[in-house]
Structure 1
Amino acid sequence: MHQVGEVPVLDLGGVLLVSIQVELLDDTVLALQQDLTERVAETGARGVIIDISSVDIVDSFLARALRDIAAATEVLAARTVLVGMRPAVAITLVELGLTLPGMTTALSVERGLELLDTRLDENYPTRQG
Structure 2
Amino acid sequence: MTGHVPVLRLGDVLLVTLQGDLHDSTAQQLQQDLAETISSSGARGVVIDISGVEIVDSFLGRVLAEIAGQTELLAARTVVVGMRPAVAITLVELGLTLPGVHTALSTEVAMELLAEHAPSHRYGGLRRESL
**Which bracket does the TM-score occupy, shorter chain normalised?**
0.7 to 0.9
Corresponding residue for 2:120? 124
CA RMSD, aligned part only? 1.5
- Aligned partner of 2:127 in structure 1 is none
Moved over 4 A (4+): none
Q: Determine the C-alpha separation between the residues in 1 that align with 2:45 and 2:74.
A: 10
Check the 8 A contact 1:48/1:81 in 2, yes or no: yes
Write the deviation string for residues 79-110 of structure 1: whole angstroms up to 9, x where unpaired: 11011111111000000000111111001111
Q: Give the partner amino acid of 1:90.
A: A
Amino acid at match of 2:52: S
TM-score norm. by structure 1 comes to 0.87
- Structure 1 position 42, deviation (Å): 1.2
Match of 1:109? Answer: 107
Aligned twin of 1:12: 10
CA distance in 1, matches of 2:26, 2:10: 23
Report whether the alignment pairs 1:72 with 2:70: yes
Matched residue of 2:19: which SS?
A: coil
**Aligned residue type for 1:79:** R
Shift of 1:6: 4.2
TM-score, L = length of structure 2: 0.86
Structure 2 counterpart of 1:95: 93
Q: Aligned partners of 2:3 and 2:20: how far apart in 1?
A: 10
- Residue deviations 1:61-81, cap 9 Å, x none? 111111011111111110110
Q: Secondary structure at the match of 1:77?
A: coil
The residue aligned with 1:56 is 54
Q: How many residues align?
A: 120
The answer for the alignment partner of 2:30 in structure 1 is 32
Q: Residues 44-63 of structure 1, C-alpha deviation per residue, up to 9 Å, x if partnerless? A: 10111000011011111111
